[in-house]
Structure formats: structure tokens, C-alpha cells
Structure 1
Amino acid sequence: MGVVLESTSLEWLSLGIILVSCVYLYYRNVFNFWKKKGVKYVEPVIPFGNSKELLMLRKSLAEFFKGFYDAFPNEPYMGIYEFNKPALLIRDPELIRQVLIKDFVHFQDRGVTYDEELEPLSAHLLFLTGSRWKNLRAKLTPTFTSGKIKMMYHLMEECAQQLKQSLDKPATNQQMMEMKEVMAKFTTDVIGTCAFGLQFNAIENEDSEFRKMGRRVFTSSFRDTLVRIIRTVCPSVLSLLKIKVMPQDIEDFFVGAVKETVEYREKNNYIRNDFMQLLIQLKNKGRVHHDDVVVENLKNGSIYEEIHEKATDIDFSDKLLTAQAFIFFLAGFETSSTTLSFCLYELALNPDIQDKLRDSIKAVVNKHGGKVTYDSLNDMPYLDKVVKETLRKHPPASFLVRNVTKPYVVPGTSLKLEAGLKVLISVYGMHRDAKYFPDPERFNPENFSSEAKSARPHYSYLPFGEGPRICIGKRFGLLQTKLGLATLLLNYAFSVCEKTEIPLRLNPTQFITSSSTGAWLRIKKCTTT
């Protein structure tokens, strides 16, 4: 009996050794990828690759990719491993231009795996690939022209006035307020009225369902982290096991809200100047009317023409409409609210800049009849500098991803990138590189003076991305951000308080760059004369 047990134990031990050896050999082969190609890389750790700190929630995504960006300061690119997947992080502005614009045909997709059948809300412009993305982008571009956005300005302005009314009392009492949440309520109401045509009432109502849902979408749990890892390592498992990234109740809520809105408008022939109306127009007529030169939506006319000349009709179904409304909501409120709160935080830490900005806003408003108008906001160069500097120091999208869609040889090298490989750009790393922005930890709006901008490469500043996949809502986001700031600074002053965290710690659980503790500031009324 003892001999049999001893034999069985040896068999299990041998099997264990074989399994461990196989795993080791597998990872050794995987982790030799960049060495074989002669690319410098950050040494991986089995089985995490270079993603252990991300898995352990020790770093935010912004800090995570910045760490790689800083690892080889003299290299144009370097190799990393997202668990068992090799990826190339590029840091040379000229190479970034090649990837995002000149050779875009090789890097058309973002490389995000999604299952449209399992999760209908995932079929939005951010995730779509290939010809479906190209055709949808062509159809949606007229929706975001300056003319269309200008028509919605009065809707934004109503939200700004509601924001002011809600802050008068706490400002009179010089209260401490968590401004990230305050700004999220404002941008939620703006996107509610402009994208959905609904009054979300997030500013006035603490129990606003849309604010609750927005908060839930951007609050990551352990499950969310695990699903993100599975999506990176083996995305087919999610589809096989029918695991959704988005909780079912959130999906049901947004699908129901959009369906109800569309049905009401179509049944009652109700027309409103907002994004929802433009989406309905696209669904029913197949196109959005061009009210101005749509090519302005992209800086490179040739790229615009290439996309739009080859674009074909797309079946803009109710599901596709709902997915676009969903991503408008998420991208519209969260990115702008974080930018607003980071900006107020920096202005509280730099009262001289706050005072200068307030004075400049007052001067322009006085020239425009004493009101914050669409035209007056476009006549505020110092406000523009302050917003750009906020996006430099705190870019909501801290990194960009492009998937190699056609094999590509990096110019001037023999390095060949095969289809399916991810290419990463650390926006946060570039924005804090002293080579492009002297004293990068200092909040300095003069980084965006004409002289400073001409002294650095164009593609060292990428808060909205670049090229054909540049953020389509860039104008909308900047407008609501500037309107919010102008309204606040004309009426209130912001200062640090005992709850203000200096420096801010970034939240390791959120995809969008945000602080762990919010932005606590003291607010008080100021004169507007």
C-alpha cells in the first residue's frame, strides 16, 4: 500500500513539474518577443508581464504608462507586455504623426474588443472598426460642426445659470465643496439637454437617476478590473461565457431612455435643436444636413476627403442610434467635469492666475454686452490658454491606443509590426516631459503662448488625439468647459481648504484621469464689477 501511495505522489509531483515547466517555457517564448526584434523593453514578470502594478491597483493608467514613457528617454519607442500581449509604446512626435495621420491606413482601429450582439451599447464610434467605423464617422461628423453646436449654446447656458443658482448659498456661507461632483452634475445636465433632449435635473436633484447611472459607469469594482484583464488576455472568453462589461440594469436604463425619447419625437413630430434630433435625422434620412464646411472637423482635409469619399451608406438602426447616444453621454459629462474640477483646483493653488483669468473674462464680457455668449467665449485667449494647460497637466484620456490593421515597417528602421499588435502613446507622459514643457509640474498657461507652441513639435500635445480618430466631440467639450469656467469665475472665487489634497493622488480604478479624493475647495462670492 505504501509503495502505491509513494508511486502516486511521484506521478503527481512529476505532472506538476511538467506543467510548471510548460508554463515557464510558454512565457519565456512570449516574453522574448521584443528581444528577438531588437527593441528595448521593460523586463516582464511571469505571469503579469508589465501589468502587475495595474492589477494590484497601485497606479492609475496615467502613471502606469508614463512609467514606461520615462524608462527609455532617448528611445523613439519601446516594448512592453500587457500581461501576455506585447505592445509597442511610441514616444517620438514624428513617429506619432506617422501612426495617427500619415500612415493611418495601417492603424485604423483602437483595438478594443467588443461583442455587439452581447452588448448593443458597445457599438459606438469609439469601439467600431474598419469600414463600419469609417462610414459612421462620415455620417456623424456633420453633427459636431461649429454651426450645429452653436445652435445648442442656449441649452448649455440654461444649465450654467442653474449651476450659478445652486452655488449662491454655499458661496455666501464660504463653504467647502467637492467640485468634481458639482461639475459632474453640471455636465450631466448639459449632455442631458443637448444629447437626450431631457431635463436630468442633476444640479437640483441629488437623486437624479442619470447622475446615479453616470457615477456607476465610472466606478470600477474588482469585477470590472477582472473583466478588463480577461478582455486583454483572452477576449473570446467574455463572449463564450456571455460576460458583460456593462451591468444589465445600466444597459436597460439607457436603452429605455433613448427608446422613449425617439418614440415620443417621432409620434408627435417634435423637433428640437439637439444631438438626438440629428441622430433621428440620420436614422430616417440617412444623412445629417451640412450647415457649414464639415472639413473643419479634422485638421487635415486630405484625410477627411479620403474617409468621406470612400464612405458608403450604413444601416443606422435604433440599436446603433442608442449606442451613439450612450457614448455621447459618457464622454460628454465625465471628461469635461474632470477638466473643470482639475482647472478649479489649479486656479485655487495659483490665485494670481485665477485673478488674471477672472479679469480677462470680465473685460471680454463687458465688450459683449455684459453677457457670456457663444461669441464672447471664442474671444477669450487667456481662458483658452488656461483650459489647454489644464488638459496638458491633466489629460482625461491619458493614453492613446491604435491597433496595427496592416503590417507596417517603422520608417528608418527594419522593425516590422504585424497586424494585431497594439501601439500605445502615453499622452500623460508626453505632457509632463520637460523636453516639450519646461518645469512640467508647474501650472503655466504661457505654455500655450504663440512662442511656446512654435518651439515644440505639434504632436507633443494630444489631449483629444489626432488624425481621423481625433475626438469628434472636441468642440462641444471645450465649449461647455469654457462656459462653466466663465460662469463660475465671474461670480465666485475658489481657494484651498483643510480638505484640499496637495498634491492630488490619481484614482487607480478609473479609466478617465481623475483624483482619488475629488477636488475639495472653498467657494465664496466675488464682485462682478
Structure 2
Amino acid sequence: MPVPPLKRMVSNRGHKPGSSAVWTSSPSKTRLEDSLLEGKQKLPKAPAKSKKKREAPPTKPCKKRLKLSEDSDEEHIAPTVFSDWLEILGHYQINSVVDKLGLAMGLFLESWLSEFLAVALVVVAAVYARYSYCYSYWSKKGVPQAPTVIQFGNAGRVFLGLTRLEFMFRDLYFRFRDHRYVGVYMFTEPGLLLIDRDLFRLVFVKEFDAFSHRNINFDEKQPLNHHLFNLNGERWKRMRAKMSPAFTTGKLKMMFQTMQDCGRELVEVLHEPAKRGEILEMREIAARFTTDVIASVGFGVECHAQRNPDTEFRQWGRKIFEPTLKTRISSLMYRFFPAVAKALQLKNSASGKSGFFRKMVEDTVEYREQHGVVRNDFLQLMMQLKNKGFIDDESKLGTQETDKWKFTMDDVAAQSILFYAGGFETSSTVTSFALYELALNQDIQKRLHEEVDATLKEHGGQFTYEALVGMKYLDKVVAETMRKYPPAGLIDRKCTRDFQLPGGGPRIEKGMVVVVPVYAIHHDPEYYPEPQRFDPERFSEEQKATRHPYVYMPFGEGPRNCIGMRLGLLQTKTGVAYMMSKYEVRRCEETVVPLQFTSMSGVLTPTAGIKLKLVQRK
């Protein structure tokens, strides 16, 4: 209903008390209206005829009805209290005030929005300019580069946990397969992904001095992080020379007897489950076996993890290698934002839980030195480096003869932890993958059974060191397993000086990272036809002779290859050989085909595990 125009109240001089006052229209505003509109004075009371004051009624005052004019029947209620005047103002003033406020607010918002948009455009332009500059590093050098995403570069899916790093490089490798290399960006840091196999040899061997550093970032304040895998430069060179004699053939033979004992226990422990045809998690079976081997060979501790899965040694192993969100974030931060990770003092899975191993090493060393105990294990060799500066008199040659540097207790503990971590994770993973492929390929398993039986018959029913090394088909099975599931899915090196890549290649600046995509190379159909097919014959002497030597690198190549490679292979072969001597693994309803891998772990780890049915051989 439309609001009527404002009326002016005019009193009748001759009206009687109690009679209604009359409201008449006025062509212009009165002073009263002006003052009301401008808010300069309060509303006056309606004028009365007589000077005699009217006594207020004892009850609440009633509102009086007023005619708008004498010739009009329309009436309004006369305002008798302040609230009534406010009601009138509500009818006649609010619309005007709201209009004014709306106009002011609109102008304000329009101005604020314009300023915000202007600032936003400047910020967006600045960000775009910065990233355009960062992501044009390789294109300016004439190097093909992978498409990038602002802020993430090429690492967005990896950082968000949507894929693994080696899978990201695999995709880029096949996308630029016809090139020798391709430029990549880890967030804003440029790197070079190598594709040409001759460049692998260049980085690992020919120009090793320019690419001798691993791209490893860690908290230097933690003494146990200073092990061989993490170190670079002269300190790495000295430590590598000191430790190399610990992995000679003679030392491996010395440790093999302990592996035999663990292999026999593996067969005994699995007797009842195999008799019942149980479905077992092979990753756990392999982990228990490897834990027993590492504990005995590395630390001289008989923990019997195969019979007691909850032993303290096994529990700490789970804590170190069990992938968690916390360790994943820490690992990614040290890889992509090392300065931030160090400032926050983030801990990786091993350094955060290494107290147990350090105390165990200290206690064992102290006990052996006090009681003159000598064992044929890795810790005893590290004690020689601590006490004498060399492993034994026979190895006191070359650099060891003049280098008087001795290990500290922190050095002994750090190398012992590396021995456990490297030996456990690699060997247990490869063993479980080998059993998985044998279960899916019964013809291959049958052939391996035949070789195992023939070897035992030839060596009096025992797996000696020479017998195991002489099993050619077992070697092929393990090699094909590491081809399909490489322990190291990629190898990266940090350039130690400015280096001009030959053949018209770009100049690689000091500190830049170059990547060798091992997983992609191992699945390249040019080198391995039908790469998803498990075929041990790929590693026959005839087929190996036809391939480039640098297209199979499960343990790396050159001076910085895995120092414990031979020990790891010996562990894996021992476990597989003993299992095949008595049992058969079969695919079951819980076996996942094909395997899916989690993005949380450092090595290839199946999301749903590896579950197989174990039965006794007939």
C-alpha cells in the first residue's frame, strides 16, 4: 500500500478537550517537517486549546484518531507518544535513508571491488611473469621441456600423492623417447632427464668426477645420518675405501653360514602352514627371514623373528619402513624444499627411530670389547675400523695404508643402520616379488624346482656358497625380478661443477640434478620386448650380449653403485632357494593381478600386499 504524503497537523482553536485534531495537507514543508527531516529537534506534543493541563489517565494512553481534513472521512491515529512519531518516521523517512545508504554502499563496494581487481591482476601478472621466466630455462637453451603446472612444475602429481616419482619420470621418458634428454622442473628448480643410454655411461663412469654427488638432503645435525649412502665428496670417498673390503667374496663366504641357518629355519617355520595350504602374506614372510639374516650377519643378534614376529628387532623394522603420512611429508620436503625441512628439523623414518639401533650397537660393541668376543659379522668389521682404522691386515693396502682415519662410535652406528636398512628393504622386497611371479608363472617355477633339486643332489643335500652361486636359472629369475621391480626406480646425481654436455648438448650448471629413469629403461620395449611379461631368459648370456650394458641398472652403476649389492643378492637367492626346495607357491583368490603400488613408500610396495597359497611339494 503506498505511503500517503506527509501531512501537517493544525489545531482547531475552538475544539473541545478530548476532540480530535485535524490534519491538513500543505503544499510545502513546514519548519517542523524540516527539523524532523534534518533531525535537529525532537517532536513537539500536539497543541491544546486551553492552558489548563489535562491530567494523564491512570491507564496507558490511547491513540486518538485524526481526520486528514474537514471534508475528508479518512482518519489517522494521532501520535501521543514518542514511539508513535517513530512509526510515522518509519513510513515517511526510511525509504529515503535506505536509498541513500544503498547508493553510498554501492559506491563503496564498486570502489573496493575495482581496487581489489586491480591488485589481483597485478599479483596474477607478477606470478605469471615469475613462473614464465622460471619455466623458460630449458626452452631458452633449445632443450625440449615437459609441460609444466604453475608452482609445481612437473612434480605436482607426486607432491599430492597421486603417483610415484619413478612413474612420473617413466611417463616423461616415453613421451620424449625420440630425444636424448628432456628438461624438467621440480617445482621451480630445473633438472635434466636423461634418455640416451650413452649419457648414462657418461654420468656414472666417464665423467664421474662431475656427477659424483647423490641428490640427498638430510639433517646434518643427526650423527646417524652420516652414512655412506648420504655422504658426498672426500668423506664419501674415504669411507667407501674403508668399507669396500667388508663385502669381498671371502667376507661373504664367512657370513653365508649364518644365512644357511636362517634358510633352514624358514623351511621349518613354514611346514605347518604349507601342510594346511594356508594363504600367506609373502611380504611378511620375506621380511621375517631377512630380519633374521640381517640381525645375525650384521649385529650378531639371534632374534628369531621367523618364530616370533613380534620380537623387538622386527617391531623396530616395521616402524622404520612402514609408510606413514608424516614420513611421506618429511621425505618430500627434504627432496623439494630441503632448506625448509632443515629449518623445521624434520625427521625421516630412519633418523626418527634410530635410537634403538644405536643403543644396541653401543651395548654390543662394549660387551665384545670387555669380554674379547669375536664374531664373523658386519659389526665386527666395523669395530676393526674403529679400533685399527682398517678391516684386517690383508686389506691394509693402497689408501688404507696411509689413511690413519678411524671410525667413531657414531660412524659405526651409522654404517650399521645403513646395513640394516639397505639389506632388509631391498632383499625382502625382491624376494616377495620373485615369489609372486613364480606363482603366476607355474612353468617357470617348475623349471626352478628342477634346478634346485639337481643342485641339492649334486652337493649332498646342502646349499653351499658355491652351489648357490652356480644356480644359473635362479640367477635369471632374480635378475628378471629386479628388471621388472627395480629396487632403485630412479638414480639422480648432482653436478659438482659446470659441465658441457657433449654432442651439442646444453651446459649443465653446478648444483643441477640429472636423472636416470631406471624403471622406465627396464620397461622400454626396445630393450625388453613385452616388458610386462616375466621372462628369465632375457638374462641368458646370448640375450645379454645383444643389449647395451647400461639398460639394466637395479643397483646403479659406476663407483657409486650399491656397495652391498652382492650381499643383497645372496640373501635373496638363499631365501628363494630354500623355499623352492620344499614348497610351491600358487595364485589364490586373494592374489591381486596386476599389482598396484602405493605412493607413500620409498621402494615399490604393493598397496594390497602379496598374498599367495603355500603348499608342500609332492
Q: Distance in 2 between matches of 1:108 and 1:227?
A: 25
Match of 1:93 in 2: 197
1:112: how far off? 0.7
Q: Which amino acid aligns with 2:377?
A: D
SS in 2 for 1:152: helix
Measured after TM superposition, the shift of residue 228 of structure 1 is 2.7
Q: Which moves more between the two structures, 370-379 or 409-418?
A: 409-418
Corresponding residue of 1:480? 571
Structure 1 residue 94, shift from structure 2 partner: 1.2
Give, in whole Å, the separation in 2 of the partners of 1:310 and 1:289. 11
1:206 aligns to 2:297 (yes or no): no
Pairwise CA distance, 1:23:
2.7
Question: Does the CA contact (< 8 Å) of 1:40 and 1:79 recur in 2?
Answer: yes
Report the Cα distance in structure 2 between the residues aligned to 1:494 and 1:158, rounded to whole angstroms: 22
Task: Please say if residues 227 and 418 of structure 2, whose CA atoms lie closer than 8 Å, have aligned partners that are also in contact.
Answer: yes
Find out whether 1:220 has 2:311 as its counterpart.
Answer: no
**Structure 2 unaligned spans of 5+:** 1-103
User: In 2, are the aligned partners of 1:132 and 1:314 still within 8 Å (CA)?
Assistant: no
Matches within 5 A, 1:128-147: 128-147=231-250
Query: In structure 2, what is the Cα distance between the partners aligned to 1:432 and 1:233?
Result: 26
Distance 1:74 1:63, change over 3 A: same
> What SS is found at the alignment partner of 2:139?
helix
Q: What is the rounded CA distance, in whole Å, between the counterparts of 2:460 and 2:447 in structure 1?
A: 21
1:266 correspondence with 2:357: no
1:365 equivalent to 2:365? Answer: no
Contact 2:242 2:400 in 1 (8 A): no
Q: 1:4: how far off?
A: 7.8
Of stretches 323-332 and 65-74 in structure 1, the one that deviates more from structure 2 is 65-74
The verdict on how the C-alpha distance between 1:352 and 1:72 changes in structure 2, with shifts beyond 3 A counting, is: same
Task: Check conservation: 1:191, 1:329, Cα contact below 8 A.
Answer: yes
1:72 counterpart = 2:213: no
Instruction: Give the AA of the match of 1:520.
Output: K
Q: Matched residues in 2 for 1:284 and 1:309: separation?
A: 14
Is 2:150 the counterpart of 1:46? yes
Note closer, same or farther for the CA distance 1:311–1:93 as it changes in structure 2 (3 Å cut). farther
* Paired amino acid for 2:466: D
Cα deviation for residue 158 of structure 1 reads 1.2
1:512 aligned onto 2:603: yes
Cα offsets for 1:273-293 (capped at 9, x unmatched): 000000010011111126579
- Deviation of 1:24 (Å): 2.4
> SS in structure 2 opposite 1:180?
helix
Of 305, 328, 338, the residue aligned with 1:235 is: 338
The SS at the match of 2:575 is: helix
- Equivalent runs, 1:316-355 vs 2, <5 Å: 316-355=407-446
Q: Say whether residues 1:492 and 2:583 are aligned partners.
A: yes
Match runs of 1:73-472 below 5 Å: 73-117=177-221, 119-246=222-349, 250-289=353-392, 291=394, 312-472=403-563
8 Å contact kept, 2:224–2:351 = no
Q: Secondary structure at the match of 1:263?
A: helix
1:210/1:37 CA distance change after superposition, 3 Å: farther
SS in 2 for 1:227: helix
Which residue type is aligned with residue 190 of structure 1?
A: V
| CA distance in 2: counterparts of 1:234 and 1:248, whole angstroms | 18
Deviation at 1:310, TM superposition (A): 12
Deviation at 1:217, TM superposition (A): 2.0
Deviations 1:322-343 (A, max 9, x none): 1111111011011111101110
What is the TM-score of this pair, normalised by structure 2?
Answer: 0.80
SS in 1 for 2:214: coil
**Alignment match, 1:23:** 127
- In the TM superposition, residue 62 of structure 1 has moved relative to its aligned partner by 3.1
Q: Over residues 404-441 of structure 1, what are the superposed CA-to-partner deviations in whole Å (9 max), with x where a residue is unaligned? A: 11211112124110111111111111111111112211
Q: Distance in 2 between matches of 1:110 and 1:10?
A: 51
* Shift in Å, 1:314: 3.9
> How big is the shift at 1:249?
5.5
Judge conservation of contact 2:390–2:396 (CA < 8 Å) in 1: no
- The Cα shift of 1:222 comes to 2.4
What displacement does 1:75 show?
A: 1.3
TM-score by length of 1: 0.93
Q: By how many angstroms is 1:114 displaced?
A: 1.7
Letter in 2 for 1:526: R
With over 3 angstroms needed to count, the CA separation of the structure-2 counterparts of 1:8 and 1:264, relative to structure 1, is farther
Q: 1:480-500: per-residue Cα shift (whole Å, max 9, x none)? A: 111111100010001100000
Question: After alignment, is 20-29 or 272-281 more displaced?
Answer: 20-29
Shift of 1:55: 2.0
Which amino acid in the other structure matches residue 427 of structure 1?
Answer: V
Partner of 1:298: none
Letter in 1 for 2:370: K
SS state at 2:592 partner: coil
Equivalent-residue separation in structure 2 for 1:188 and 1:81 (angstroms): 39
Identity of aligned residues (%): 41
Q: Is the 8 A contact 1:147 1:292 kept in 2?
A: no
Residues 28 and 226 of structure 1, relative CA distance in 2, 3 Å threshold: farther
Counterpart contact for 2:387–2:406, Cα < 8 Å: no
Distance 1:37 1:313 in 2: 47
CA shift at 1:218, angstroms?
2.1
Which secondary structure does the structure 2 equivalent of 1:524 belong to? strand
CA distance in 2, matches of 1:22, 1:121: 43
**TM-superposed deviation, 1:97:** 0.5
Q: 1:241 to 1:170 in 2, by over 3 A?
A: same
Select between 309-318 and 345-354 the one with higher mean Cα deviation: 309-318
After superposition, give the CA deviation of every residue in 1:171-217 in whole Å (9 maximum; x if it has no partner): 00011001011101110111111111112322111212222222222
What secondary structure, in the 3-state scheme, does the structure 2 residue paired with 1:87 have?
strand
Q: CA deviation at 1:236?
A: 1.6
